[in-house]
Structure 1
Amino acid sequence: MLDAVKDAVRKSSIHVCIVNCGGCNGCDVEVVALLSPRYDLEQYGIYVQNNPREADVLLLTGAVTEQWIHNLKRVYDKAPEPKIVVAVGNCPQSGDVFAQEGGHVHAPASNFIPVDAAIPGCPPRPSEILEAILSVGPQAIADRGREEK
């Protein structure tokens, strides 16, 4: 019974899991701002999950540090199909200020997992993050519906 209710809710909402792979946390602050009354993420049917097994969209923030290379792939593998990844900010795309020759930051994140959407900025505005989630999230829900049939 509980699984049926859970499935019904998931068909009409987008579940996001925030994955911070290292960095300054500037993008995380902007993502958390989406939970404030000003942006009210939940009014769009978007909910934050701590468990990647229940996420439609993985929000990737921060540069991929050496410790996260294998963990990032592990988290990605735990997410259910279809897997949608949104790279938030410059760090997961280029390493930005943390990228150095021979350093411990590896960029881009797309070298390790597929990235479906990227939001440039250091950090990007919450409205840009919301727009990106809304551009890829409904496709994940539609794809999930096709897989169930």
Structure 2
Amino acid sequence: MWQILRQIVRTGIVTEPPPSTAGEAAAVQRIHQALLDILGRALTIRQVDAGSCNGCELEIHALGNPYYNIEGLGIKFVASPRHADMLLVTGPVSRHMEEALRRTYAATPEPKLVVAVGDCGCTGGIFGESYASCGRVANVIPVDVAVPGCPPPPTDILRGILDAVQGRQPNPARP
């Protein structure tokens, strides 16, 4: 026991210093302010997992932690698409989720926004189109903004939400 304690004292701290987040914190703050300026009210989001590996969901859940604090901005996740302004869809759309995603889209009141999150949602990812997968979200419902990455960091997801609210990156296939 004493040998281990002596070794700990001699060795000291061997972990690396934490990464600098000053630039990311400033970016998050700018996105927060832009969302508040545009919305002026709450934005409600219905998140739909259409067949993902849950990597994107982990990053979406990180948006609720104190660092990103989207609840403080008035952005809330809701359980019903009938209360949602935006659909945040992850994963390649599996054949079993195709009809459910269409119904969720139909149940969302106008004007509605759709954000595809992750490489799988944007392009079909490594799964593509097959007997079990419809591929990207845009193959099933119209998409306003695509947020690539596997998984995309929370800052990019926030930026995608902001782009959708601002009406940037219009999709020509959107009616």
Bucket of the pairwise TM-score, normalised by the shorter protein:
0.7 to 0.9
Equivalent residue letter for 2:107: K
**In 2 relative to 1, CA 56–94 (structure 1 residues): closer, same or farther, beyond 3 Å?**
same
* Within-5 A mapping of 1:60-99: 60-99=89-128
Which has the higher relative contact order, 1 or 2, with Cα contacts under 8 A spaced 6 or more apart?
1
Cα distance in 1 for residues equivalent to 2:44 and 2:161: 10
TM norm structure 2: 0.69
Cα-to-partner distance string for 1:6-51 (whole Å, 9 max, x where unaligned): xxxx971110110000120100000000000111011222111111
Aligned to 1:145: none
Structure 1 unmatched runs, 5+: 1-9, 140-149
2:79 pairs with 35, 47, 50, which one? 50
Who is 1:105 aligned against? 133
Query: Across the two proteins, how many residue pairs are aligned to each other?
Result: 129
Q: Is the 8 A contact 1:57 1:137 kept in 2?
A: no
Amino acid corresponding to residue 87 of structure 2 in structure 1: L
Does residue 116 (structure 1) correspond to residue 148 (structure 2)? The answer is no
Aligned residue for 2:157, secondary structure, equals: helix
RMSD: 1.7
Computing the radius of gyration from Cα coordinates, the structure with the larger value is 2
Q: 2: CA distance between counterparts of 1:81 and 1:23?
A: 26
What's the counterpart of residue 68 of structure 2? 39
Q: Is the 8 A contact 2:134 2:140 kept in 1?
A: no
TM-score in terms of structure 1 length: 0.80
Q: Does 1:19 align with 2:36?
A: no
Aligned-pair CA distance for 1:138: 5.6
Written as runs of structure 1 = structure 2, the 5 A alignment for 1:125-144 is 125-137=153-165
The residue identity in structure 2 corresponding to 1:48 is F
Displacement of 1:135 after TM fit?
Answer: 2.3
Runs of 4+ aligned residues of structure 1 deviating over 6 Å after TM superposition are: none
Amino acid of the structure 1 residue aligned with 2:152: P
Identical positions, percent = 42
Shift of 1:98: 2.0
Partner of 2:88: 59
